[in-house]
Structure 1
Amino acid sequence: MARISIRDFHDDDLDAVVRLWWEARTSSEQPVYSLAEVTASCREDHAVVAVRDEEIVAAAVGRAAHAQGWIVFFGASEDARAENVSGALLDALERKMAPLGLSTLSVLMPEGGRLDQLTSNGFQTRHALRYLERQMPVQRREIDLLKDLGGRILPRHLWEQVAGMRQEKQLLEERLVTPLAQPDLADRYGVVPPRAVMLFGPPGTGKTTFAKAVASRLDWPFVEVFPSRLGEGSGSVAASLRSVFERIGELEHGVVFIDEVEEIASQRSDPPTPMQGVTNELLKIVADFRDREGMLLICATNFVRGLDAAFMRHGRFDYVLPIGLPDAEAREAIWRRYVPVEIAAEVDFAALVVKSDGLTPADIEYAARRASQDALARALRDRPATIGGPTELGTADYLAALEVTRATVSEDQQDSFLEDIETLARL
């Protein structure tokens, strides 16, 4: 079955939206808005559609009134619902309407309508009216600022997409997400919501993925600060770093991420190096972050033992959390992400999971893509005239690709990581 893609509404799509409206009308989820209102909003307001094989299988239509957005119509075929396209479609509509400066996005649903597609995507029910709304993660005054900082609102459900890694996810859920998302609950237990955390582990183990998943889970803007880009102008690196964080401080909420932080936080020496001033500046920034609510600084490093000792003292980072190689459950989920649906039933995932032990997510992605590319090239050589035939790609192809895939993380690096957990982790 072909993949579903999401795009903006075109005038030629109107017939398909009308069809979806009539399908919804004959089900238990009769549209609240009339067909005339829906078609008018398609043309004059905002709409996105989900397409598979050039056929529209779902549509979402919205309009704005002052600072409030309304979903005028949301409909999907049975196949599209089975593939859970609802969340991605609603996210696409929200991104399309975000520049309007909306504070909430609201939905009216008829009695008997299914609410799970909306409640799982951040909407909250107002029971007396069956009225659903969700807060827009960025207000109008912050949109331009966020764009200038290179920040963005990440898709929802990234947290659920991080399969396996149960211990790491549980740590992040308990230590970061819950205290920040439910400060009243944290206060009842005397838990102070974290302000700054350090993730460490071998390269390619998914530290950036976890940072983005936390931002997605909190529904906060995600801003990444790149050490390599600091000081590109006329100012010093320290001044550039200070300027960036001053602007970030204008956001109401946000997850700020610095990857490879060792570039600007390495151990200071005597005599001092030119980067020592940058390290001092970052220490001040971490201290400032601890005085702010609604913000979380996440730093990541591949070389935690190389950080300046001042960063590892209590009072700087609330937690120092290890992120290691993917476990068996996570490796299977990664494989399933890249193996085509049409052949998944014939693939021996258990064998792939065993053979890919010790590989990073990026290593597994490389092996999966190489197997697919090699199989396609073979098909083009052997039977170019019948390329529409069955997909000749299977377990043997993936195992062959694994044989030529070099592991990013060496045994020595893994041993060092385990030592760092014992000596430096703060859970």
Structure 2
Amino acid sequence: MISALARPDTAPLSIGIIGAGIVGVSCGLHLQRAGHQVEVIDWQGAGEGASSGNAGIIAVSELIPFSTFATLRKVPAMLRDPNGPLRLRRDYLFPILPWLVRFTLACRPAKQKTIVNALFELLSRSWDAWASFTTDPAVAALIQRSGWLQVFEDSESVRKKAATVALQRARGIAVQEVSSNEIRDLEPALAPVFGAGLYYPDNGFVSSPLKMLRALSEMLFRNGATYHRERAVAIATLPGGEIEVRTTGETRCYDRVILAAGAHSRSLLRTLKLDVPLDTERGYHLMLPRPAHSLRRSVSFSDYGFSLGPIDDAIRLTSGVEFAGLEAAPDWSPISHIVTHAQRFLPGLSSDISDQWLGFRPSLPDSLPVIGSPREHPGVILAFGHGHLGLTTGPLTGSLVAATIARAPLPFDIEPLSPSRWGI
């Protein structure tokens, strides 16, 4: 029997993908197009995890990592203010300390340069990667290249972002400083209380992340992929190089396995006796009835730490980051307090909550995903840790994973994304 790892680069492989979010589905589509047989394993329906609950922004402008000294300085306030946009539950301070130590190391200037360069390589290629999927009319209908608007009550907040804007412009990202009149032209439904804003015309907006994920997964499954709605519980490399995946349903073997289970990836990686410092930034959203005069795109109210976007037939209010792990009960109080601000800024917005959601963003301390194989398990490809940029960079990640499996040339050096940076 030929070892699974010794087969020619062009030979069809059986590939198991753990995770049916934007990253997992994107990997599946690219690998299927390369001729491989794909099976997807997820205990939820396709796209029903963190990929479905975001603000819908394809954020190709977001070069600045979360891991900065400015964020680190907010930790004391995170502990004091239970209703702030960044929250750290006191009983989670000890469990997250190792992550915070690595986060601090990632804030060093030399490391920041590496991180920004890697983010630029990912973000600058994201629209081209999305283009390979928007040939499907059902997907294309949900994606608008309508830009992203950040609004502020006065121009002082814009001035505080001068360094960020300068860095973005230096990398060729279009940023427009907009006046109160220009804000009203872009979003007539907003209350006339904003004195300044930043508009990113090249960012995109997905009008229904869940519908979009379902459309992508339908592309995958109508072309022969198999879906196993089961929870993966362990991974193992067999002596011949095949990869065994044990689930709550049964045990299956594949030539390659893609671990794209988002914030749940760490527990599976540990079954290989490996570890990376993956934690979760918990994100909340509320769905409110869409008013007669609504928004055209996602708008961020940066002074208050929340966004509003016209998702499906409602307005989605997304807010904040909470560090409390995967098991803690939801705390709806902080986001519920924001509804009054949202009503002030978007006249006619009802406070009747039609749905509420908590999801888990997979977060590594250096704000970069991990893409590649651990040294001791070359048949397992890691593809997780995208933080706030999963929706933006998921399709590109899929193409990088497919190229890695084919041993094909990559469009840029992905060493900064390698598992080796975490010693595995």
TM-score, with structure 1 as normaliser: 0.21
Higher relative contact order (CA 8 A, sep 6+): 2
Structure with bigger gyration radius:
1
Bigger strand fraction = 2
